Every structure is written in C-alpha cells, then in structure tokens.
A and B are shown apart, each in its own frame.
Chain A
C-alpha cells in the first residue's frame, strides 16, 4: 500500500495528566494532505479522544494554529508534503496555556484585543442619512495590511517577549491598535494612547521580528509596534512640555456625544 507519515502529537488530558506527553501516529500519506487533514485522519481512524480546534479549513477563521516542528503555523495552510518523509511534530501554540491536547487557551490575547478597542470610534455618531464615511485609496493603503489580521495568535506563539512577560499586550493587538489609529475615519486615538504608552504596551517589544515572519496573512505587527514607538516617543516629548493629547475614556466619549445631541 501507499506511504505513511509519522505524526508526533502533543497530548495533554487535564483530567489524567500532570504534564503534556508526546504520542506518535502513523498516517497514510497523500500529497494533497494538510497538517489538519493528518489530524482529522488520526481522530477518525486512530484515536477519537484527540482534541484540536479548527473551522474553515481555508486560512480565514484562524482557529487551527499549531506549532509544526516548532514553528507557529495554521494547520490548514501547512502541507505534509513539505515535511515528508521526515516525521512532523505537532504541538499546541507556544506561550499560551494548554487546555487539552492541541487546544491552547488564547483568551489572554482576546482580553488584550478588547483593551485596544478594535473598532472605529467616532466622537459623535453620525446619522444614517449622512451615508458612509468616505476614504481615499491612499488613506486605505496606510492601514490595509494590518486589517488582514484573523486573530489566530501565531504571532503570540512567535513572540519571546510575550513568553517572558505575559503582561505584554502583544503583536496582533498592537498591530490592530495601529490599524485603527491610522484609519482616517477613526477618532479614538486618545482612548487607546494609554495602552500604547505603557510598559506593557509597545515598550515591551524588542523588535525580534518573528511575529511578522510567521503571520499567515502577511501582516507586519513588528512594523506597526515600532512605528507606534515613534508616535509614543513624540507623545512623551509633548507630555514633558505639557502639550500631550489628553487621554480619554469611554465615559468622556458618551458625555461629549450627549452634549452634542442634547
């Protein structure tokens, strides 16, 4: 019969195990198989207790991030043919806690994402009859690549600074902060600036650059963070001479819009 490929899969059962262990499976090798297909075969035919997360199988949902031979990858976008006949080692995303087997708990990233307010903020809500906010192609080009982020968390698994200090807001959240700050339609910079200026914000980054290297959507978080460092330094200088933009909270925004409407 056909070739087989060896999958070395990290297993962790929180109800039985104290720490993760490696388990080896032999899977029939087909040229078109992705890493995710290999896991599917394993679950369907070899061990139905294997737990992993996936959804779209087309690199847009961002659910199937794994460490493949130590490199953060999307399982659906990574092919076994690039490793065959060598064995492939599959582990949950690094730097995140392991929930079970290949499922890592990325809720810390989601908290940080929430903290940078990843949505357009307007000082006062326009009415529908005014139509959409318009934007030139040049204005779009300034942030477009950052908006491609699918929140898969590969950049967090690639970032040693996040691994060393979990308080760090991290690559994807800071890239999305930069994405909204550079969007001409957005007016929320004053609400995001305290996060940017903090030690846990852009200042925990040392420009390792591996986040940008592993991004499956060609987002460049390292560039976003280091551009934000320049902006944060300018803000620091303005702060020293008492000219920095006053940080705002969501309550300030509500007060302003109430005053305008009332």
Chain B
C-alpha cells in the first residue's frame, strides 16, 4: 500500500535528466530499418532462397563475400544486423519491465549488453570478411 494520500507538492523534487534519448534514438533508427528493409530481406534470405524459388547463385559465397567486403555493402550489412538488434534490445528491456521482471539492472545489462556485443562482433567480422 502506498501513501499517496499524504499530499505533498512536487515543487522541491529533483528532476534528473534521463539517458533514455540514447536508447530511444537507436530504437527508433532500428525500428525504421525493421519496418522498411527487413521484410524484403527476410523474404529473400529466409523464404525465397531456402524454398529454391530463386537461383541459389544469388546467395553464393563469391557474391555475398564480394558484397560484404565492399565498403558500402559492408555498411549496409552492418546497419541491417546492428540497428534491429538495438531496436529489439530496447523493446525487450521495456517488455521485462511490463512483465514486472526484476531486478531492472540485470535486464538492462542483458539487453543492451548483448546489443553492444553484437555491434562489436558485426563490425569486427565485416572488417575481416
């Protein structure tokens, strides 16, 4: 039971600036990529190619390696992997809050920590590909 019936004003309350804009901006950028780009990418890599509906040569090693090692291609691959990861990390963290899972700090470190690891890993792999 809380004691909100003891009415006090919030006049002396210290309002601290939140760092949420960082996570929210990454979430927003990722959300745009997921909405605009990912449906087509999933359709190709996850459905059309595995079903054999398009020539598998389009996803051959030579073509894909060539694309990912080109600076622009690499940048596109980086954006398509990393931004949706930050988008998902943000939503899953807030989902843990919605489902009243505790402690918050654990879920914070798990979600954004994994997104950070994937970012570093994707960047490194693209440099050596």
Contacts and interface: CB of A to CB of B under 8 A. Distances in A.
A166 B1 CA distance: 12
B124 interface: no
Interface in A199-246: 199-201, 203, 206, 229, 232-233, 236-237, 239
10 closest residue pairs by CB, A with B: A236-B21, A203-B20, A194-B15, A233-B21, A115-B10, A198-B15, A199-B18, A108-B4, A203-B18, A197-B17
Interface string A103-122: 00101101110110000000
Given A195-B15, A198-B17, 16 more contacts: A97-B5, A99-B5, A107-B5, A111-B7, A112-B10, A115-B9, A115-B10, A115-B11, A115-B13, A164-B97, A166-B4, A197-B15, A199-B18, A233-B21, A236-B21, A239-B17
Interface of B: 2, 4-5, 7-11, 13, 15-22, 24-25, 94, 97-98, 100
Contacts of B98: 160, 164, 206
B54 to A, nearest CB: 37
6 contacts: A107-B4, A115-B10, A115-B13, A194-B15, A199-B16, A199-B20
Given A97-B4, A105-B4, A160-B98, A114 B10 contact: yes
A75 to B, nearest CB: 23
B24 A229 contact: yes
A105 B5 CA distance: 7
Interface of A: 97, 99, 105, 107-108, 110-112, 114-115, 160, 164, 166, 194-195, 197-201, 203, 206, 229, 232-233, 236-237, 239
B17 A107 contact: no
B9 A111 contact: yes
A111 B21 contact: no
A206 B20 CA distance: 12
A232 B4 contact: no
B40 to A, nearest CB: 25
Contacts of A203: 18, 20-21, 24
A17 B2 CA distance: 17
Contacts of B11: 114-115
Contacts of A110: 7
Contact of B16 (A97, A198, A237): A198
A166 B2 CA distance: 10
A114 B9 contact: yes
A112 B100 CA distance: 24
A69 B2 CA distance: 25
